[in-house]
């Protein structure tokens, strides 16, 4: 089969409510400032999802086209350098688009049953921007990667 | 025999160029001159302008030439400020790979929305001015004189002392200078080249058949593919049985994807014949029962829905309608339309372990490289795009590059072998990205004196933006689809435009003029209904409502040219309409005679355009004429219908377009008022369709409220 859609591994989009509950229940750590400056929306979305827990660059590989032909169906693959055993595994993978109207664009719940820590899908990317992936590991550490993406527009609309 | 000669010549040409460059990495300019990619076109004064030692000026063009004249008009913008000898200017495509390597240095490559000139005019004029300043500064430095004392004209730099040199001689020194950030641009009144019509760079080769289109690409050992995609949009390939073509002559292999299957053979005819023998089973998904009627029912839910988003609200239309002296109500409808480009979608690809090379007729080189990169799963740097001229674009070859991806996917199965994928005409008709359907309900109030007091618009239509730019849908309103209403130029005190998006499964696309094809038909024909209800003249009715607006200027221009204030000749009936779109203003008068109450002879179309400035008047007139033909064609003939979830039409036999014998006399009036830059490729279309509808009413008393007119018993006199 052509490289059209890769398999999607048990993706569940977490409800906003669950994240808010987590936040309400939650811990108050500090948020690690990523290597490049991030717009407020991204910071807010990260905080809403992870509270003030530290996020470290590394372990995560985020693959997206540098140039997207159509921003409404952009292929994305996130892989995490982690075993997937009962002792050590990736619990979830999250994607954030800082300039999307709703920045939290994907959340995947994983476990040892997945065999490997890879998620592929297609996502909407509103405009040229930075996309951030965050992985939550079984030891509750948070790891991230970010890529810049440019969205080509070809319409005759206005 | 002649055709064969052309074919051989084309193949010969490509093989030779491949040999010359030692590979396939090369640029082909319009005159067939080969420019090696190794930099033999240097020196580059700015990234837009290359001047060779013999004074040849090569101007790079980022937008695509689709027949609209971009290759010439965009070069004129640069050359005007460059003060070069126009006879030594030629254009070449800005190389897509270089564009990527240099961090998208050529800006947008998108060729749509009538934007090529208006969106790039400033930076291109500045590029020309910067290059001129750099050349002059280089000469002044060499002579030890102030640059201000030097003059540049026709590629020659001179100084009062009698010293003089040429651009070709100074180019190398100039290219080492810093590019001025804010070069001084000429006052439009001083333009010498902009506003004239030099011979277009593309026409000679197109006229003589020398032009290479994507469908003409021939490479050594090339194979050909024909494809069939799930006829029901959104369906998937279930299975196929290729036993019938196992031993077919020339057939190389079958390649399948999620929702398509293709046959590859040693020529296209064999591939397509074998494809027809293939037994394919589709999983048509959930849309297998959709019909044009069920889509209409779905749209109607948008008219009936309560609490829909409001695109514009002035005053209180609802209340004013309640107190109307005369209430006028009508529903208008427009069907799906296909681009039906003369050249069906075509792409050629070669895939090796670490490289993808594609030859594509595209309206956006960047979209093509992005699509090929994604399909191959290779970085942009490993993709080479050869931008070929497109055999018609009209919005089909911009954001929908699935044919490029398919060519890459097929070529991946045959590493190192060039694969030319060409859709059959039938596939092209059935797998379009269609001008979406639209339904509106319009209600208006006239007061006792026949003044237009209130207007309520409810739109129910399909969004294109939701599929390609969803982020630009705000509060449920598609910003393109509400144009013509939301930006209604008529001074109606009480006005509401409500919008209900209804998206059927048929994939929508940007069809030349997009919403400015049907929305002007709805608006301007409905206004004609008000005119007759008020017992007024169509021009008299509009004039006070358009007071002080540019729309009025073009309206007056066609009124004068068509002698609207005098009665039409006996047996001739007229309709008029005005619309602004893509930054320009246009108006049309259509004159017809009708035989037997149904056979329409379009005697004359008078069409006016205010695009602010006109770069190449002859090209603009050609665009106006083609816009009129495009509009008349869709008004009378064109319609895509849906049955069992799929398109019913297959070819030009059942998707009729306007024929030469049906083409009327077209008079174009250009009235550029300056101070703004409007588009040209699409603006003429909107006014023509309603002007024809209004003429048909004037002639027959029959008000046609849905397109095409053929569905109401009308036909053109052949």
Taking the CA of residue B273 and the nearest CA in chain A, the distance in Å comes to 23
CB spacing of A155 vs B479 below 8 angstroms: no
pLDDT of A38 reads: 55
Name the phi and psi angles at B448, rounded to 5. -60, -25
Among the partner-chain residues B108, B257, B367, the one whose CB lies closest to the CB of A69 is: B367
Query: Distance between CA atoms of A146 and B646, rounded to whole angstroms?
Result: 42
Q: Which residues of chain A does B395 touch, with a Cβ-Cβ cutoff of 8 Å?
A: 156
Q: Which residues of chain A does B412 touch, with a Cβ-Cβ cutoff of 8 Å?
A: 2
Beta-carbon count within 10 A of B276 CB: 13
- Nearest by Cα to B331 from B633, B692, B704: B704
Burial, A66: exposed, middle or buried (Cβ in 10 Å; 0-12, 13-18, 19+)?
middle
pLDDT of B22 reads: 32
Angle A61-A64-A68 from CA coordinates, rounded to 5°:
170
What is the DSSP secondary structure assignment for residue B187, as one 8-state letter? P
Q: Among all residues of chain A, which has the CA nearest to that of B481?
A: A157
Angle A77-A83-A87 from CA coordinates, rounded to 5°:
135
Taking the CA of residue A53 and the nearest CA in chain B, the distance in Å comes to 30
Query: Distance between CA atoms of B508 and B399, rounded to whole angstroms?
Result: 11
List pLDDT tens digits, range A76-86: 999 999 999 99
CB spacing of B468 vs A155 below 8 angstroms: yes
Structural domains present in chain A: 55-151 (2.60.40.2470)
Query: Distance between CA atoms of B46 and B127, rounded to whole angstroms?
Result: 7
Query: Distance between CA atoms of B170 and B519, rounded to whole angstroms?
Result: 54
- Nearest by Cα to A98 from A125, A68, A134, A135: A125
pLDDT of A41 reads: 81
**Joined tokens for residue B385:** 């795009």
Does the CB of B97 have a partner CB in chain A at under 8 Å? no
Contacts of B246 (CB under 8 A, 6+ apart): none
CB spacing of B682 vs A155 below 8 angstroms: no
CB distance B369 to B444 below 8 Å: no
Query: Which run of H or of E encompasses B136?
Result: helix B116-143
CB spacing of B470 vs A126 below 8 angstroms: yes
Among the partner-chain residues B370, B377, B512, the one whose CB lies closest to the CB of A69 is: B370
Q: Which residues of chain B does A153 touch, with a Cβ-Cβ cutoff of 8 Å?
A: 108, 110, 399, 468-469
Query: Distance between CA atoms of B712 and B291, rounded to whole angstroms?
Result: 20
- Nearest by Cα to B581 from B633, B512, B636: B512
Q: Which residues of chain B does A124 touch, with a Cβ-Cβ cutoff of 8 Å?
A: 470-471
Name the phi and psi angles at B605, rounded to 5. -120, 125
Contacts of B81 (CB under 8 A, 6+ apart): B125, B126, B127, B128, B129, B132, B183, B185, B186
Does the CB of B110 have a partner CB in chain A at under 8 Å? yes
What's the predicted TM-score (pTM) here?
A: 0.88
pLDDT of A158 reads: 62
What is the DSSP secondary structure assignment for residue B479, as one 8-state letter? T
Provide the percentage of residues in chain A whose pLDDT is more than 90: 60
At A101, the pLDDT band (50, 70, 90 cuts) reads confident
Query: Distance between CA atoms of B335 and B486, rounded to whole angstroms?
Result: 21
- Determine which of B471, B484, B486, B681 to mutate to test the interface with A (most A C-beta atoms within 10 Å): B471
Query: Distance between CA atoms of B591 and B547, rounded to whole angstroms?
Result: 26
CB spacing of A100 vs B471 below 8 angstroms: yes
Query: Which run of H or of E encompasses A107?
Result: strand A104-109
Mean pLDDT of chain A: 79
Low-confidence ranges of chain B (pLDDT < 70): 1-42
CB spacing of A72 vs B469 below 8 angstroms: yes
CB spacing of A70 vs B399 below 8 angstroms: yes
Q: Which residues of chain B does A152 touch, with a Cβ-Cβ cutoff of 8 Å?
A: 110, 364, 366-367, 370, 399
CB spacing of A72 vs B468 below 8 angstroms: yes
Q: What is the DSSP string of B356-407?
A: EEEEEE-S-HHHHHHHHHHHHT--GGGEEEEEEBPS--TTTTSS--HHHHHH
CB distance B68 to B60 below 8 Å: no
Name the phi and psi angles at B487, rounded to 5. -100, 25
Contacts of B533 (CB under 8 A, 6+ apart): B326, B328, B446, B450
**Joined tokens for residue B505:** 């499964």
CB distance B89 to B154 below 8 Å: no
CB spacing of A67 vs B363 below 8 angstroms: no
Query: Distance between CA atoms of A105 and B362, rounded to whole angstroms?
Result: 31
CB spacing of A158 vs B470 below 8 angstroms: no
Structural domains present in chain B: 24-208 (3.30.365.10), 215-285+345-422 (3.30.365.10), 292-337+433-716 (3.30.365.10)
List pLDDT tens digits, range B52-65: 999 999 999 999 99
Among the partner-chain residues B104, B367, B467, the one whose CB lies closest to the CB of A154 is: B367
Query: Distance between CA atoms of A75 and A147, rounded to whole angstroms?
Result: 13
Taking the CA of residue B375 and the nearest CA in chain A, the distance in Å comes to 6
- Nearest by Cα to A150 from A130, A128, A131: A128
- Nearest by Cα to B599 from B480, B677, B714: B714
CB distance A74 to A106 below 8 Å: no
Does the CB of A37 have a partner CB in chain B at under 8 Å? no
The sign one gets for the Cα dihedral B583, B584, B585, B588 is negative
CB distance B152 to B136 below 8 Å: yes
Residue B698 CB-half CA count within 13 A = 25
Query: Which run of H or of E encompasses B225?
Result: strand B223-229
Q: What's the ipTM?
A: 0.73
- Determine which of B105, B118, B358, B370 to mutate to test the interface with A (most A C-beta atoms within 10 Å): B370
Helix and strand element counts for chain B (H, E): 18, 30
3-state SS, one letter per residue, for B511-576 = CCCCHHHHHHHHHHHHHHHHHHHHCCCHHHHHHHHHCCCHHHHHHHHHHHHCCCCCCCCCCCEEEE
Among the partner-chain residues B370, B399, B412, the one whose CB lies closest to the CB of A67 is: B370
Does the CB of A67 have a partner CB in chain B at under 8 Å? yes
Query: Distance between CA atoms of B207 and B185, rounded to whole angstroms?
Result: 36
Q: Among all residues of chain A, which has the CA nearest to that of B109?
A: A154
Does the CB of B257 have a partner CB in chain A at under 8 Å? yes
Query: Distance between CA atoms of B559 and B576, rounded to whole angstroms?
Result: 9
pLDDT of A4 reads: 35
pLDDT of B43 reads: 82
Query: Distance between CA atoms of B540 and B78, rounded to whole angstroms?
Result: 43
CB spacing of B582 vs A67 below 8 angstroms: no
Which residues of B, range 583-622, sit inside 8 Å of A by Cβ?
Answer: none
Taking the CA of residue A97 and the nearest CA in chain B, the distance in Å comes to 12
Does the CB of B380 have a partner CB in chain A at under 8 Å? yes
Q: Which residues of chain A does B371 touch, with a Cβ-Cβ cutoff of 8 Å?
A: 69
Query: Distance between CA atoms of A28 and A11, rounded to whole angstroms?
Result: 28
List pLDDT tens digits, range A30-40: 334 343 445 68
Does the CB of B70 have a partner CB in chain A at under 8 Å? no
pLDDT of B8 reads: 33
CB spacing of B470 vs A72 below 8 angstroms: yes
CB distance A75 to A62 below 8 Å: no
User: If DSSP codes are grouped into helix, strand and coil, which group holds residue B245?
Assistant: helix
CB spacing of B464 vs A65 below 8 angstroms: no
Q: Which residues of chain B does A72 touch, with a Cβ-Cβ cutoff of 8 Å?
A: 466-470
CB distance B317 to B265 below 8 Å: no
CA B553 to chain centre: 26
CB spacing of B399 vs A153 below 8 angstroms: yes
CB spacing of A158 vs B465 below 8 angstroms: no
List pLDDT tens digits, range A62-81: 999 999 988 888 999 999 99
Does the CB of A148 have a partner CB in chain B at under 8 Å? no
Among the partner-chain residues A67, A124, A155, the one whose CB lies closest to the CB of B510 is: A155
Burial, B13: exposed, middle or buried (Cβ in 10 Å; 0-12, 13-18, 19+)?
middle
CA B525 to chain centre: 25
Q: Among all residues of chain A, which has the CA nearest to that of B517?
A: A157
Q: Length of chain A in residues, anyone?
A: 158
Q: Which residues of chain B does A149 touch, with a Cβ-Cβ cutoff of 8 Å?
A: none
User: If DSSP codes are grouped into helix, strand and coil, which group holds residue B130?
Assistant: helix
Residue B654 CB-half CA count within 13 A = 11
**Joined tokens for residue B108:** 């947008």
Which residues of B, range 498-527, sit inside 8 Å of A by Cβ?
Answer: 510, 512-514
């Amino acid at each position: 089969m052509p490289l059209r859609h890769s398999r999607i591994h048990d993706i569940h989009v977490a409800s906003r409510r669950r994240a808010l509950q987590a936040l309400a229940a939650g811990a108050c750590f500090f948020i690690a400032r990523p290597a490049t400056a991030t717009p407020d929306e991204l910071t807010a979305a990260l905080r809403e999802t992870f509270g003030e827990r530290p996020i470290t660059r590394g372990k995560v590989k985020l693959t997206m086209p540098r140039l997207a032909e159509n921003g409404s169906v952009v292929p994305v693959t996130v892989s995490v350098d982690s075993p997937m055993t009962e002792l050590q595994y990736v619990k979830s993978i999250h994607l954030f688009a800082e300039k999307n109207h709703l920045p939290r664009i994907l959340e995947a719940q994983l476990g040892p049953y997945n065999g490997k820590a890879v998620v592929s899908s297609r996502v909407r990317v509103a405009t040229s921007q930075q996309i951030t992936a965050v992985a939550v590991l079984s030891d509750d550490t948070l790891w991230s990667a970010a890529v810049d993406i440019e969205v080509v527009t070809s319409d005759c609309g206005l | 025999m002649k055709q064969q000669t052309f074919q051989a010549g084309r193949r010969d040409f490509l093989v030779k160029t491949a040999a010359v460059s030692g590979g396939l990495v090369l640029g082909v300019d319009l005159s067939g001159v080969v420019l090696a990619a190794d930099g033999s076109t240097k020196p580059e004064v700015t990234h837009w302008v290359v001047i060779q030692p013999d004074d040849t000026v090569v101007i790079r063009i980022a937008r695509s030439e689709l027949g609209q004249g971009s290759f010439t008009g965009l070069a004129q913008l640069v050359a005007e400020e460059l003060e070069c000898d126009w006879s030594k200017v030629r254009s070449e495509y800005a190389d897509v790979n270089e564009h990527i390597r240099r961090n998208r240095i050529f800006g947008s490559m998108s060729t749509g929305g009538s934007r090529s000139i208006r969106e790039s005019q400033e930076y291109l004029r500045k590029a020309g001015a910067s290059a001129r300043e750099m050349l002059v500064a280089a000469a002044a430095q060499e002579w030890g004189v102030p640059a201000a004392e030097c003059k540049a004209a026709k590629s020659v730099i001179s100084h009062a002392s009698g010293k003089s040199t040429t651009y070709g001689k100074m180019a190398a020194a100039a290219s080492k200078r810093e590019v001025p950030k804010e070069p001084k641009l000429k006052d439009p009144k001083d333009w010498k080249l902009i506003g004239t019509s030099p011979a277009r760079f593309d026409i000679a080769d197109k006229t003589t058949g020398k032009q290479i289109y994507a469908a003409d690409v021939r490479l050594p050992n090339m194979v050909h593919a024909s494809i069939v995609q799930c006829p029901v949009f959104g369906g998937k390939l279930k299975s196929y049985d290729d036993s019938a073509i196992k031993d077919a002559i020339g057939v190389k292999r079958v390649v399948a994807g999620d929702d398509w299957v293709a046959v590859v053979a040693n020529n296209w005819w064999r591939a397509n014949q074998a494809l027809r023998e293939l037994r394919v089973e589709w999983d048509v998904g959930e849309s297998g029962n959709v019909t044009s009627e069920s889509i209409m029912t779905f749209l109607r839910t948008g008219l009936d829905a309560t609490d829909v988003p409001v695109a514009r609200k002035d005053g209180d239309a609802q209340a004013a309608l309640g107190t109307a002296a005369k209430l006028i109500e009508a529903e208008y409808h427009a069907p799906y339309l296909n681009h039906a480009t003369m050249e069906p979608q075509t792409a050629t690809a070669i895939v090796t372990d670490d490289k993808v090379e594609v030859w594509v007729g595209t309206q956006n080189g960047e979209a093509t490289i992005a699509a090929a990169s994604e399909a191959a799963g290779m970085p942009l740097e490993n993709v080479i795009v050869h931008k070929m001229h497109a055999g018609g674009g009209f919005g089909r070859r911009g954001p929908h590059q699935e044919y490029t991806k398919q060519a890459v996917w097929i070529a991946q199965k045959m590493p190192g072998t060039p694969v030319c994928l060409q859709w059959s005409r039938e596939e092209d008709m059935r797998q379009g990205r269609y001008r979406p359907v639209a339904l509106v309900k319009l209600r208006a109030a006239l007061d006792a004196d026949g003044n237009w007091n209130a207007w309520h618009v409810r739109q129910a239509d399909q969004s294109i933006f939701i599929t390609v730019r969803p982020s630009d849908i705000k509060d449920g309103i598609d910003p393109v689809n509400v144009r013509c209403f939301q930006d209604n130029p008529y001074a109606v005190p009480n006005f509401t435009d409500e919008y209900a998006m209804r998206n059927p499964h048929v994939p929508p696309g940007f069809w030349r003029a997009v919403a400015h094809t049907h929305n002007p038909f709805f608006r301007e024909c409905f206004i004609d209904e008000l005119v007759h209800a008020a017992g007024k003249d169509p021009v008299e009715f509009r004039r006070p409502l358009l007071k002080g607006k540019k729309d009025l200027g073009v309206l007056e221009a066609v009124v004068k040219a068509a002698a609207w204030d005098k009665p039409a000749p006996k047996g001739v009936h007229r309709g008029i309409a005005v619309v602004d779109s893509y930054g320009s203003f246009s108006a049309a008068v259509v004159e017809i005679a009708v035989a037997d109450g149904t056979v329409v002879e379009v005697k004359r179309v008078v069409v006016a355009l205010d695009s602010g400035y006109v770069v190449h008047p002859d090209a603009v007139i050609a665009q106006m004429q083609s816009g009129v033909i495009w509009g008349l064609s869709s008004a009378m003939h064109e319609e895509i219908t849906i049955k069992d979830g799929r398109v019913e039409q297959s070819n030009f036999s059942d998707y009729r377009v306007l024929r030469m014998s049906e083409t009327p006399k077209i008079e174009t009036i250009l009235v550029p008022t300056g101070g703004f830059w409007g588009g040209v490729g699409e603006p003429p279309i909107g006014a023509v369709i309603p002007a024809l509808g209004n003429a048909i009413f004037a002639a027959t008393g029959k008000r046609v409220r849905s397109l095409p007119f053929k569905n109401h018993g009308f036909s053109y006199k052949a």
